[in-house]
Amino acid sequence: MSTADAPLPAAPSLPGPAPRILVISAPYYRQVVDGMLAAAQAIFAEVAAELTVVEVGGAYELPQALAIAAASVQDFDGYVALGCVVRGETDHYEFICAAAMDGLMRVATREALCLGTALLTVDTLAQALARSHETGSNKGAEAAVACLKQIALKRSLA
């Protein structure tokens, strides 16, 4: 069986109540991001997570939205950031990818957030689509699993 035909990963065991999750989506490449979102939703359904999904303009806005969410009065157990940046003919790709990923990590570590990240940084749209299929190596599913594992870790250390 190829990785494109493999089933999505299973949600990890999660002690305690169903988690509250905020998914921040940058759907510039709607087909790609929607595929990752659907896979993440399937993982979160396994643990009966309460999901809130918000959209932002693009990958550059993902860390800003995460910071806004962390400072809000709403209490989420975990966060998932979804987006895609496809390399173009200018340096724009390098700047956006670095700023978005660095910003997400900076906010997550500063605020001790349980964050799963699926910001695809690819050379072609075909590469992005291959990472957002319903089955196989879906990076949205992987980000959801990563988020749940961080929540489990946080709960075990509380």
Catalytic positions are 92
> Taking every pair of C-alpha atoms in the chain, what is the biggest distance, in angstroms?
48
Please report how many Cα atoms fall inside a 13 Å half-sphere around the Cα of residue 138, on the Cβ side. Answer: 28
| Cβ-contact 14, 151 below 8 angstroms | yes
Q: How far apart are CA 72 and CA 60, in angstroms?
A: 20
Smallest Cα–Cα separation from 93: which of 57, 119, 118?
Answer: 119
